Amino acid sequence: MIRASRKHSKRFAGAISRRAKNDRLDAELIAHYGEAIKPTLTVIKPKNIRLMSDLVIRRNQLLSMQTMEKNRIQILPASLHSTIKPMLTTIKNQITKLEEKLVKLIEDSPEYQAKKYDITERPRNRKHCRCITDWRRSNNT
């Protein structure tokens, strides 16, 4: 499978003075673009890897929501804390469930059996889980 930028294929069509008017012409133009440009192949990730990626993205969203709610507790009066605390509990429970699913997927995944991921350590930038395969061994921790 190849990924082609819509903008690039449109510019290619303009460069060869062809505009697609219907689906058939559009398909021919895209095929010609692929033959002429020869873009690199995109490897489709396995289903379990895509699922892990989606779970990590959702986990990061929940972490962000949790931070926002904690900030609200500091700002809002104490009378409103009772409306925020149940939300924090729910978010925390969802994060725990996602982490359990991630651990199970990692344990069941042959791609990651050689690696160990610690998803409970939350990185400061929260963009991804940290891979700590040999780091702990090399730092004697």
Considering the domain boundaries, does residue 53 fall inside one? yes
Q: Count CB atoms within 10 A of the CB of residue 6.
A: 8
Query: Does the predicted TM-score (pTM) go above 0.85?
Result: no
Percent of the chain at pLDDT above 90? Answer: 35
- Please count the structural domains in the chain: 2
User: What are the C-alpha distances in Å from 29 to residues 59, 130, 131, 138?
Assistant: 41, 43, 43, 54
Give the model confidence (pLDDT) of 17-68 as tens digits. Answer: 887 678 888 888 888 888 888 878 777 778 888 898 999 999 999 999 999 9
Considering the domain boundaries, does residue 42 fall inside one? no
User: Does residue 115 share a domain with residue 82?
Assistant: yes
User: Does residue 60 share a domain with residue 33?
Assistant: no
pLDDT level of residue 71 (50, 70, 90 thresholds): very high
